[in-house]
């Protein structure tokens, strides 16, 4: 690894100071430093400035300076190019950015020398579809009992996004939504809830956990389907294999919803829309300390505290 990318949270002066310190150390060691910015302006001869579309091909390792949100953004930029991430926590929780500011240089040196453990984290791909002619309109607030699995000719692909943590559909007003969930065209359940989450093992300790979903070990090939505040005691989260396709449909035209991916991309989700969630072909490569997952949970989330 000779090309090291540095990515910080936009607008943070503390992050800028950390970036400049690491940049000087790397350049002194003969490494090529890659940063985001305007390629037309180069701050130094040995610094490469690229835009977001190029950073995945321009570096061999990307150091993320910030919090978990910054790392999720970095994942969107470089995971498909097999670029591993090293997270330096300059935020609050730092569940995915485990190294403190004081550890940054040592951790990076160990990563460059091949001495730091590298994990692979499963990602998911969300595809948003809209039926070309919509479902039967029905009366306001009615549930449309349309076909559970509309064919591809009846739908238009509106968006496709990858996620490291989760895909969530949530309400926009203080009213419950009506969903239908299925796995490989096999109906799971119909929910009346404030929303629904499809989470990866990495994302199981994020929004999914806050909504009562299960904790999945990082190495599992599985997804958690978790309703948010379901209006029935019988509705519980389920864990499904990553080899399947999870489909979520909005089956009521009563209230609007919003679709979000990893908390950093949003799109309106309306009556008749549906998403399909599958496992991504490439995982994220993530440098981690030599700690067990439960040890990190005890440190970051007060896991098991009485």
What pLDDT is stored for residue 155 in this prediction?
Answer: 86
Say yes or no: 261 and 214 in one domain.
yes
What pLDDT is stored for residue 133 in this prediction?
Answer: 61
What pLDDT is stored for residue 167 in this prediction?
Answer: 98
Question: Cα–Cα distances in Å, from 50 out to 34, 59, 176, 191, 236?
Answer: 7, 10, 44, 45, 46
Q: pLDDT digits over 259-283, tens only?
A: 999 999 999 999 989 999 999 999 9
Whether 136 is covered by a domain: the verdict is yes
Mean pLDDT of 45-57: 89
Whether 32 is covered by a domain: the verdict is yes
Say yes or no: 44 and 187 in one domain.
no
Q: pLDDT digits over 241-264, tens only?
A: 999 999 999 998 888 899 999 999
Residue 151 has pLDDT above 60, yes or no: no
Q: Of 123, 119, 71, 79, whose CA–CA distance to 96 is shortest?
A: 71
Domain holding 28, by residue range, is: 3-121+284-301
The better pLDDT of the pair 133, 198 is held by 198
CATH of residue 70? 3.40.50.10330
Say yes or no: 108 and 10 in one domain.
yes
What pLDDT is stored for residue 144 in this prediction?
Answer: 40
Residue 92 has pLDDT above 60, yes or no: yes
Whether 242 is covered by a domain: the verdict is yes
Whether 110 is covered by a domain: the verdict is yes
Least confident segment among 118-122, 151-155, 176-180, 288-292: 151-155
Say yes or no: 86 and 222 in one domain.
no
Catalytic residues: 68
Least confident segment among 14-18, 41-45, 86-90, 111-115: 41-45
Say yes or no: 10 and 136 in one domain.
no
Asked whether the beta carbons of 250 and 272 are under 8 A apart, the reply is yes
Average pLDDT over the chain, rounded to whole? 88
Mean pLDDT of 24-41: 86
What pLDDT is stored for residue 132 in this prediction?
Answer: 74
Residue 291 has pLDDT above 90, yes or no: no
Residue 10 has pLDDT above 80, yes or no: no
Whether 89 is covered by a domain: the verdict is yes
Least confident segment among 64-73, 91-100, 124-133, 283-292: 91-100
Say yes or no: 146 and 243 in one domain.
yes
Say yes or no: 30 and 43 in one domain.
yes
What pLDDT is stored for residue 17 in this prediction?
Answer: 80
Domain count, the chain: 2
- The sign of the CA dihedral 288, 68, 199, 153 is negative
Say yes or no: 261 and 141 in one domain.
yes
Say yes or no: 222 and 258 in one domain.
yes
Say yes or no: 29 and 158 in one domain.
no
CATH of residue 275? 2.60.200.30
Whether 149 is covered by a domain: the verdict is yes
Say yes or no: 113 and 225 in one domain.
no
Residue 150 has pLDDT above 60, yes or no: no
What pLDDT is stored for residue 263 in this prediction?
Answer: 93
What is the band of 143 on the pLDDT scale with cuts at 50, 70, 90?
A: very low
- The sign of the CA dihedral 291, 296, 298, 304 is negative
Distance CA(88)–CA(62), nearest Å, equals 11
| DSSP state for residue 22 in the 8-state scheme | H
Asked whether the beta carbons of 133 and 114 are under 8 A apart, the reply is no
Say yes or no: 227 and 294 in one domain.
no
Least confident segment among 39-43, 212-216, 296-300: 39-43
Asked whether the beta carbons of 271 and 209 are under 8 A apart, the reply is no
Residue 136 has pLDDT above 50, yes or no: no
Whether 306 is covered by a domain: the verdict is no
**C-alpha neighbours within 13 Å on the C-beta side of residue 113:** 8
């Amino acid at each position: 690894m000779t090309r090291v990318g540095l990515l910080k949270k936009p607008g943070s002066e503390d992050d800028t100071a950390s970036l400049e310190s690491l940049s000087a150390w790397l350049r002194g060691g003969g490494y090529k430093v890659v940063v985001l910015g305007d390629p037309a302006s180069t701050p130094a001869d040995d610094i490469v400035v690229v835009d977001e579309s190029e950073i995945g091909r321009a570096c061999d390792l990307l150091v993320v300076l910030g919090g978990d949100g910054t790392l999720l953004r970095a994942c969107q930029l470089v995971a498909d190019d097999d670029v591993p991430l090293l997270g330096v926590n300059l935020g609050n929780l730092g569940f995915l950015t485990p190294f403190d500011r004081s550890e940054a240089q040592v951790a990076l040196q160990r990563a460059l020398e091949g001495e730091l453990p590298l994990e692979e984290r499963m990602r998911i791909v969300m595809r948003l579809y809209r039926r070309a002619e919509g479902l039967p309109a029905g009366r306001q607030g009615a549930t449309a009992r349309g076909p559970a699995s509309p064919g591809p000719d009846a739908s238009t692909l509106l968006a496709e996004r990858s996620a490291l943590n989760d895909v969530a559909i949530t309400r926009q007003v203080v009213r419950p939504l009506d969903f239908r969930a299925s796995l490989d065209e096999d109906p799971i359940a119909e929910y009346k809830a404030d929303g629904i989450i499809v989470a990866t093992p990495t994302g199981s300790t994020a929004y999914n956990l806050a909504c009562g979903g299960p904790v999945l070990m990082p190495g599992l090939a599985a997804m958690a389907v978790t309703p948010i505040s379901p209006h029935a005691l019988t509705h519980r989260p389920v864990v499904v294999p990553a080899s399947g396709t999870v489909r979520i449909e909005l089956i009521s035209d009563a209230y609007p919803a919003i679709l979000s991916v990893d908390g950093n991309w949003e799109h309106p989700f309306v009556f008749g829309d549906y998403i399909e969630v599958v496992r991504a072909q490439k995982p994220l490569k993530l440098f981690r300390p030599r700690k067990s997952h439960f040890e990190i949970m005890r440190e970051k989330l007060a896991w098991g505290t009485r």
